[in-house]
């Protein structure tokens, strides 16, 4: 299996990089991190097909639409279709194409497709882990900035007396979406990693608010 992974990693990474564009939150580095996350999960599930997982990790954003695009929920399906076409061109093992396509379709939060295979569960967890922790925080603000959202509410950054609104205030996204991810993880190993990363995000949120309101030096 290691030889097979070594053989396919470069062409998969090259194919993915060609489609990555200039979105800093979904670039080639993101794809490589998702694969690293998946490898950590594969260590707990050696029965999974690692080549299917690797291919889906690198190609899951082959079609990447902005979060405010009306067709955003279709992006993962389109990515799966394109990945199938490109993998066939590369003579990727035909018997694995369906598994790769399903893992790509099911990775997306917006698509709301339940993963039905172990490989798809690994890919979904691995991608969501990159939305948490220090890098997830950086990606959150990058995306929010690209969409013109403010950092935080001027006088109530923790939404203690107002409704949360991550369409207006970037910091709100931690509670609106990111805090829900650990409970949505498919695998025990993914959940444990997600909870540790979320704890760091919540600590940052408290420190940010303290500085924002002038209560910390």
The predicted model gives 174-191 an average pLDDT of 97
Is pLDDT at 71 greater than 80 in this prediction?
A: no
Q: Which of 53, 12, 24 is nearest to 190 (CA)?
A: 53
The proportion of the chain whose per-residue pLDDT surpasses 90, expressed as a percent, equals 77
How far is it, in rounded angstroms, from Cα 123 to Cα 129?
10
Q: Please name which of 191, 196, 166, 170 lies closest in space to residue 181, comparing C-alpha atoms.
A: 191
The 3-state DSSP class for residue 169 equals strand
What pairs with residue 169 in β-bridges? 150
Cα–Cα distance measured from residue 14 to residue 83, given in angstroms and rounded to the nearest whole number: 13
- Nearest-angstrom CA–CA distance, 27 and 18: 10
Please answer whether residues 91 and 119 qualify as being in contact, where contact means their C-beta atoms are separated by less than 8 angstroms. Answer: no
Task: Check: CB of residue 108 under 8 Å from CB of residue 76.
Answer: yes
The stretch 31-43 carries a mean pLDDT of 96
Tell me the residue length of the chain. 217
Q: Identify the CA nearest to 102 among candidates 138, 126, 76.
A: 76
150-161 burial by CB neighbour count: b if 16+ within 10 A, else e?
eebbeeebbbee
Could you read off the pLDDT of 101-147 as tens digits, one per residue?
999 999 987 767 899 999 999 999 999 999 999 999 999 999 999 88
Q: How confident is the model at residue 69 (pLDDT cuts 50, 70, 90)?
A: low
Residue whose pair of structure tokens reads 């990363």 in the numeric block: 197
Q: What is the pLDDT of residue 64?
A: 77
DSSP track, 101-127? HHHHHHT-TTTTPPP-SHHHHHHHHHH
Which of 20-24, 65-69, 86-90, 178-182 shows the lowest mean pLDDT across its residues? 65-69
- C-alpha 69/C-alpha 88 separation (Å) is 29
pLDDT tens for 142-174 read: 999 988 999 999 999 999 999 999 999 999 999
Residues 6 or more apart whose CB falls under 8 angstroms from that of 35 comprise 54, 57, 58, 126
Q: Which residues pair with 150 in a beta bridge?
A: 169
Query: What radius of gyration, in Å, describes the C-alpha atoms of the chain?
Result: 18
């Amino acid at each position: 299996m290691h030889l097979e992974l070594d053989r396919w990693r470069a062409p998969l990474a090259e194919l993915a990089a060609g489609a990555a564009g200039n979105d800093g939150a979904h670039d080639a580095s993101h794809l490589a991190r998702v694969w690293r996350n998946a490898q950590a999960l594969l260590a707990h599930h050696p029965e999974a097909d690692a080549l299917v997982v690797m291919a889906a990790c690198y190609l899951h954003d082959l079609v990447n639409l902005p979060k405010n695009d009306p067709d955003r929920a279709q992006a993962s399906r389109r990515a799966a279709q394109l990945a199938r076409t490109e993998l066939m061109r590369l003579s990727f093992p035909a018997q694995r194409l369906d598994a790769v396509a399903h893992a790509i379709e099911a990775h997306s939060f917006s698509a709301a497709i339940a993963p039905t295979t172990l490989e798809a569960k690994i890919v979904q967890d691995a991608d969501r882990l990159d939305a948490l922790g220090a890098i997830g925080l950086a990606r959150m603000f990058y995306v929010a900035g690209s969409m013109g959202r403010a950092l935080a509410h001027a006088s109530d950054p923790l939404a203690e007396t107002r409704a949360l609104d991550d369409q207006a205030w970037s910091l709100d996204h931690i509670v609106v979406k990111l805090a829900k991810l650990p409970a949505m993880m498919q695998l025990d190993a993914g959940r444990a990693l997600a909870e540790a990363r979320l704890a760091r995000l919540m600590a940052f949120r408290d420190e940010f608010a303290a500085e924002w309101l002038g209560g910390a030096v």
